[in-house]
Structure 1
């Protein structure tokens, strides 16, 4: 097969249709356009998809606001006093900053809309065609967008897009319970929280995974009384045990009620709030309830199986390591594939898919090098093998943990909760994985990501200079602690 060049692509007018404008979709569109393809993106809500409009960008903006409240609560420890503080004001709550949730949510939604507009503008600038509407497959080489076309008399009609290759970036929607139907007012999914105008007096969060933990921590910091209902032994059951235990302790110390081994059976509205009934018969009363019980892929009713796209029992699109589906010329990326529900993974899947479809050099995605972060306070960042994975596969490893409280920079900033943990091979000393629990752990994990990606040894990490004082100094120090002396 002759190599594909920009000139041949231009002559062939390779037609790419992307269904879904989230990170997997718009990143794929940009790669395809750079490789000379004719690209159309179909998105039913707005560019950026749920990640930008209702999920990642809004939630992390809200959490960033909550972080300021957490920092403000530490002010007294640093010797900072508010001007209104006096000996006569004994109640710490009386000196707290007041949260205007309507203003907070207005800013959250405005920022999300601006980010969506920026993405659309960039796509248009690059020559990508953007179509607003709901796309469905009509076979493996055609996408139909309902009502997006126009007849000669001006009436709306379906727009038919012929394609040489299709990328499905369909995303997912919040999972709900038959016995807890969201109403957007008192019983809420995480996409509905931004319509609230007042801070929930008592928020019951059902689900202690990443989404539940993030929102529980955020609303606790903003000033709500939060009850976290967890069906498992601890919060974040799928994460590093030491990190999860630390975070649960922080939650409890900040006044949050954490109900472990408590499965929610139903949630109903009362006259002025909600009532959540647990499997053991206990009842929890609150003003609002947030359902954070996972998500379901948006793959039904759009002709996937009819076009030859195989779905897994969970409804996800089945893909290989270069994002191909079982239908020739059809690829998929993002949450609809069930690979890893991360925007960074969706974007990489989209880029890899288009590079493969258009004959460019491509390497399969290596999930072992994916860095992930939980935006709680403190944050939990991970990369590489987890300790649970290393034990499950009987791998040889050594590990060392260094508490954040020993770091001089952390002391200066009043940070007490957190640690750095590394896993390494006992003989080869190659870094196998790591965990960082700290404020802005998402920024601190990058050196460990580089080490895992490039198979660096602990000595490679330890010998690199770090700034003194700095939080990254703890990463080098942990690496030094894992040094294996020869002989």
Structure 2
């Protein structure tokens, strides 16, 4: 195949991981090109964590206004302007997208707007017909919402891509799913003034998270006014004059203004041409890679959500950086995918790192549990019923802390710092020897001295 241009690295997808790989590779002196068929910044900046956090901040003012009265503030009647929030979000993501593009230009990376497909182990073609020969190809196309199950009227529902830009605020919202996306948007919209229902097929929310944290968050979501309906599936959606009529598997019908489908995402590998050049894909469409992000074709690599390893923005960034180090920095760098801190930005937040109690008990011989639940000072003064929960999971044989879980205000901030300790192999004695910062909620993490449970696995 005749190429119009030759490069050392061609990156498909200008999200967080792809941009990091391109910039670092160019910094090593590589000739790099990157293609993006939507907006520079990818899911996180344009349709994910950044706009979502803006909406989270907006929603929490409802609680702040109410709780201020306990501290002596008189509260005038507040009103919320959905259109103003949407416009504010758009200005910020436009600003960030421009920064991403400018940083690529400063690094010497050639940015091509348009869809790219793989046409050979070392060839990429843009939608305009321009062809590139590349020593290496990096696939960083991320993931896209997957609408499951396929039922009549599903086209009337929206995904997390569309919910940020609705022309009218939905006074009645049904979120389908029980993962990050469904619960975060449910928590946002109930505080902005929507009547929110969450329907999901399982028995509990947030599969894979620590059981105590799941139970605690369930109680908090219900206390905020969210109607949680476990064990239900959507059978059909119809549009009527009074809204969308949603038939559920318990024979009930729910009338809402919007249906948010948040039942999962799939790797964005369709029609990229990967199978035709021998790249092996998993059943879910993700690119199979080794510890260095290399696919079954030695010249083609994949990073981020498209590999379905750990689908978090910081993970994609780390994988992109490691890829550039490996290919052009003479520093072969595998990425470790354990003890990764993360947060669910519901209200209250859930921050976590390491093993849940259930995971620890299934893999370790002795597990010690330390946990507490309390009303933080702000709640006691304001009259709020919101509680903070904390749990430390310890390998009883070595005293090493293998998991920490926090449900409460700023839990995400705590999880980031706790991630350092867990990654370094801190022991419970290290936690106990750390002086507390008083008065804070976080001090409970270093003052929990009494073990609440010990589990010994039978031989």
* Counterpart secondary structure, 2:407: strand
Q: CA deviation at 1:365?
A: 2.1
Aligned to 1:424: 394
- Corresponding residue for residue 179 of structure 1: 151
**Worse-superposed segment, 316-325 or 70-79:** 70-79
Alignment partner for residue 21 of structure 1, among 14, 29, 39?
14
Contact persistence 1:187–1:274 (CA under 8 A):
no
CA-to-partner distance for each residue in 1:351-374, whole Å, 9 max, x for gaps?
222222225324422222211110
Checking the alignment, whether the CA contact within 8 Å between 2:68 and 2:382 is kept in structure 1 is no
2:27 alignment partner, one of 20, 25, 34: 34
Q: Does 1:350 align with 2:320?
A: yes
- Does residue 47 (structure 1) correspond to residue 40 (structure 2)? The answer is yes
Does the 8 Å CA contact 2:154/2:236 hold for their aligned counterparts? no
Specify the alignment match of 1:161 in structure 2: 132
TM-score, with normalisation over the residues of structure 2? 0.92
Distance 1:437 1:55, change over 3 A: same
- Calculate the aligned-residue CA RMSD, in Å: 2.1
2:323–2:333 contact (8 Å) kept in structure 1: no
403, 409, 418: which one aligns with 1:433: 403
Q: Cα 1:35–1:369, aligned 2, differ >3 Å: closer, same or farther? A: farther
Give the structure 2 partner of residue 124 of structure 1. 105
8 A Cα contact 2:350 2:406, kept in partner: yes
Q: Structure 1 unaligned segments of length 5 or more: list them.
A: 1-12, 85-94, 148-157
Distance 1:125 1:411 in 2: 51
Alpha-carbon displacement from aligned partner over 1:258-309 (angstroms, at most 9, x marks no partner): 1111122222222231111112322111121111111121101111011221
Task: Name the structure 2 match of 1:61.
Answer: 54
Partner in structure 2 of residue 331 of structure 1: 301
CA distance in 2, matches of 1:180, 1:466: 56
1:205 matches 2:175: yes
Residue 340 in structure 1 maps to residue 345 in structure 2? no
Q: Give the corresponding residue for 2:351.
A: 381
Counterpart in the other structure of 1:104: 85
CA distance in 1, matches of 2:231, 2:62: 30
Regions of 4+ moved over 3 Å: 180-183, 407-416, 480-483
Correspondent of 1:255 among 202, 225, 234: 225
Deviation at 1:413, TM superposition (A): 7.7
SS at match of 2:178: coil
Cα distance in 2 for partners of 1:362, 1:382 equals 29
Counterparts of 1:446 and 1:352, CA distance in 2: 21
Normalised to the residue count of structure 1, the TM-score between the two structures is: 0.87
Task: Report the CA distance between 1:391 and its aligned residue.
Answer: 2.3
1:90 corresponds to: none
Q: 1:285 to 1:118 in 2, by over 3 A?
A: same
Aligned with 2:405: secondary structure?
Answer: strand
Aligned counterparts of 1:239 and 1:118: Cα–Cα separation in 2:
35
Per-residue deviation, 1:435 = 0.5
- Cα distance in 2 between the residues matched to 1:78 and 1:246: 26
| Partner Cα distance (2:273, 2:158) in 1 | 30
The aligned residue for residue 340 of structure 2 is 370
8 Å contact 1:41–1:131 — kept in the other structure?
A: yes
Cα offsets for 1:235-258 (capped at 9, x unmatched): 223322111211111121122211
> Conserved in 2, the CA contact under 8 Å of 1:404 and 1:474?
no
For structure 2, the residue ranges without an aligned partner over 5 or more in a row are 1-5, 453-459
Aligned-partner Cα distance in 2 for 1:361–1:397 = 38
Matching residue within 425, 431, 444 for 2:414: 444
Secondary structure of residue in 2 paired with 1:205: strand
Task: Return closer, same or farther for 1:468/1:411 CA change in 2, 3 Å cut-off.
Answer: farther
SS at match of 2:346: coil
Instruction: Give 1:170's aligned residue.
Output: 141
